[in-house]
Structure 1
Amino acid sequence: MIDKIKDNLSKAINISELDIVDESPNHGGYDGSVSHVKIIIVSDDFKENRLLDRHKIVYEALGSLVSEIHAISIVAKTKQEWFESSEFQQSPPCGKKS
């Protein structure tokens, strides 16, 4: 699944940096499949786009894969924004994790 995500994003977006984190093991009911991902993507394709529009670009690039993933967290920055701060908010803990 991670490779499919990378392929779809790479075909649609000019990527400078890309990291896809499988956060599935941190969530309750984990069965070994990829269900929760954090996508950290840096591209100047995001220039002049608001945060919501950047997320839409990523979702459009993912296409039908979106329906196969329970939760997607996106960090989408331009190269300049990433240079200024590569920090991002950590995902919250799962409420169902025992």
Structure 2
Amino acid sequence: MSIAQHIQSKLEHAFAPIHLEVINESHMHRMQASESHFKVIVVSETFVGMRLMQAHQAVYGVLQEEMQQIHALALHTYEPQQWSSHSMEMNSPPCIKK
């Protein structure tokens, strides 16, 4: 099972998200063939009432093992109401050292 699949599975189990994207962005960096850089978009009722930092800490807590294997994780966590009114694109910047 790939790192991306592990991330997907763990987040589905922990947060029962209404929307989840796990995007491998390693191709945008020097380690193109690896699973080193990810962007995660997760929308869950679990985050209702949490501050952004608390939601991120909850995700990092679930992904402790995977965090030992990857270089970067860009997190976008939302409550369902926030997500339904969300209209920004979440494009990641290019790597400076590529």
How does the TM-score come out when normalised to structure 1?
Answer: 0.91
**Structure 1 residue 61, shift from structure 2 partner:** 1.2
Specify every segment of 5 or more residues in structure 2 that has no aligned partner in the other structure, as ranges. none
Question: C-alpha deviations, 1:3-62, integer Å up to 9, x for none?
Answer: 1101111121121100011100000232x1110000000001001111111100111111
The answer to whether structure 1 residue 81 and structure 2 residue 82 are counterparts is yes
Count of residue pairs brought into register by the alignment:
96
Runs in 1 of length 4+ with deviation above 3 angstroms?
Answer: none
Cα distance in structure 2, aligned partners of 1:11 and 1:29? 29
Specify every segment of 5 or more residues in structure 1 that has no aligned partner in the other structure, as ranges. none
Cα distance in structure 2, aligned partners of 1:19 and 1:26? 17
Cα distance in structure 1, aligned partners of 2:53 and 2:87? 19
The answer to whether structure 1 residue 50 and structure 2 residue 51 are counterparts is yes
* Conservation of the 8 A alpha-carbon contact between 1:75 and 1:88: no
Give the equivalent residue in structure 2 for 1:4.
6
Cα distance in structure 2, aligned partners of 1:86 and 1:13? 23
The answer to whether structure 1 residue 17 and structure 2 residue 19 are counterparts is yes
Give the equivalent residue in structure 2 for 1:71.
72
Identity of aligned residues (%): 34
